[in-house]
């Protein structure tokens, strides 16, 4: 009897040792060579959502992940959508953490349908530095140090949101705030820098809802995040930037964006749910600017590499 109990205890310990840790999976992964494939996983409990893309500054490649996290890793569906939000096709896949890499296997329902297996890695460049220390997963090499010079933080996947323009007189809206609909915001909005490091906020229709991603630069999974939980009320839209593998404070967290649109400008403020709320909410004129929307199709062929 004692031997049986000891064996059961050993099996129990082995089961615990082999249990999967969500922190091993959450955040961004990319292929290291050949055809680019990028996965970004947001995990809360056993629920998984996120984004998939190939050349991620080409918004036509953006697709959306929904799945489950369990003892054997992640099982998920990637939904590729048409311009009207209807489903073009789906990929069904599983991902398992293995010695620092992620092995993704599955079957594509797309034009090049068939089985696939991909080994994806954490980007060795890590996240872009901010003026403050930030956390990062995996944490083995310590936090990301602050950037020298005290430049204002970039927004989106970088967490904060820079200052706002307008010269000495301060910010002046380009027109009245628009009463928003989905059609007003679908597309690509650009901001926070120029050149390779500028940020793309991509918003697409998925069924009856909006989903999206932010990236910048768009070839490094550490500098991208899924956008979800969109809600429009009058002239205001909110959505969450899903921070998984890096950012100020504890991980993971949601960085809620509040935006308003006037003419071709989207005015954006953010508030992290792992930080104290401001004593006084920011005004509609506070925040940072994105310009757009550029149509999804107009970005076809963009290549961040």
CA distance 302 to 249: 33
Q: What's the 3-state SS for 46-57?
A: CEEEEEEECCCC
Report yes or no: 213 and 224 within 8 Å, Cβ to Cβ.
yes
The continuous run of DSSP H or E covering 295 comes out as none
Q: In this predicted structure, what is the pLDDT of residue 143?
A: 65
Three-state DSSP at 95 gives: strand
241: which strand partners?
227, 255
Give the CA distances from residue 156 to residues 61, 114, 183, in Å, rounded to whole numbers and listed in that order.
Answer: 20, 35, 21
Q: In this predicted structure, what is the pLDDT of residue 285?
A: 85
CB under 8 Å to 215, separation ≥6 — which residues?
A: 56, 57, 157, 199, 200, 202, 223, 224, 225, 304
Report yes or no: 114 and 91 within 8 Å, Cβ to Cβ.
no
Q: In this predicted structure, what is the pLDDT of residue 69?
A: 97
106: which strand partners?
93, 116
Q: In this predicted structure, what is the pLDDT of residue 169?
A: 56
CA distance 47 to 65: 11
CA distance 214 to 259: 14
Report yes or no: 39 and 50 within 8 Å, Cβ to Cβ.
yes
Q: Minimal CA–CA distance to 50: which of 32, 59, 34, 38?
A: 38
Structure tokens at 271: 């508030």
DSSP character for 167? G
CB under 8 Å to 129, separation ≥6 — which residues?
A: 144, 145, 146, 147
pTM of the model: 0.79
Three-state DSSP at 183 gives: helix
Q: In this predicted structure, what is the pLDDT of residue 126?
A: 87
Q: In this predicted structure, what is the pLDDT of residue 109?
A: 94
CA distance 217 to 194: 10
CB under 8 Å to 241, separation ≥6 — which residues?
A: 156, 157, 214, 225, 226, 227, 254, 255, 256, 257, 270
pLDDT mean for each 10 residues of the chain (305 residues) = 48 46 93 94 96 94 97 96 96 92 95 93 85 78 62 44 45 90 98 90 97 94 96 98 93 96 95 92 88 95 76
Q: In this predicted structure, what is the pLDDT of residue 19?
A: 58
Structure tokens at 170: 């301060």
Report yes or no: 239 and 256 within 8 Å, Cβ to Cβ.
yes
Q: In this predicted structure, what is the pLDDT of residue 153?
A: 42
């Amino acid at each position: 009897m004692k031997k049986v109990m000891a064996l059961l205890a050993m099996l129990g310990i082995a089961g615990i040792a082999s249990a999967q840790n969500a922190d091993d999976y959450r955040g961004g992964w990319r292929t290291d060579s050949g055809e680019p494939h990028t996965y970004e996983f947001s995990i809360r409990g056993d629920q998984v959502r996120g984004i998939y893309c190939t050349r991620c500054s080409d918004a036509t490649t953006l697709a959306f992940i929904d799945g489950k996290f369990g003892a054997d890793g992640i099982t998920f569906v990637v939904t590729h959508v048409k311009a009207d939000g209807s489903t073009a096709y789906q990929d069904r896949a599983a991902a398992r953490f293995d010695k620092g890499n992620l092995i993704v296997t599955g079957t594509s329902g797309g034009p090049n349908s068939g089985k696939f297996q991909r080994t994806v890695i954490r980007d060795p460049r890590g996240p872009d530095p901010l003026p403050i220390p930030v956390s990062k997963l995996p944490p083995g090499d310590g936090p990301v140090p602050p950037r020298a010079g005290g430049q204002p933080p970039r927004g989106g996947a970088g967490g904060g949101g820079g200052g706002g323009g307008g010269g000495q007189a301060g910010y002046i809206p380009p027109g009245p705030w628009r009463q928003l609909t989905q059609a007003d915001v679908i597309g690509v909005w650009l901001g926070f820098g120029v050149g390779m490091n500028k940020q793309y906020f991509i918003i697409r229709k998925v069924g009856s809802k909006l989903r999206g991603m932010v990236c910048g630069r768009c070839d490094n999974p550490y500098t991208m995040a899924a956008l979800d939980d969109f809600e429009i009320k009058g002239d205001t839209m909110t959505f969450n930037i899903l921070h998984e593998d890096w950012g100020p404070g504890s991980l993971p967290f949601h960085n809620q964006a509040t935006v308003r649109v006037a003419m071709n400008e989207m005015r954006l403020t953010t508030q992290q749910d792992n930080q104290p709320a401001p004593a006084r909410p920011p005004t509609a004129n506070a925040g940072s600017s994105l310009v757009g929307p550029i149509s999804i199709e107009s970005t076809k062929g963009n290549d961040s590499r």
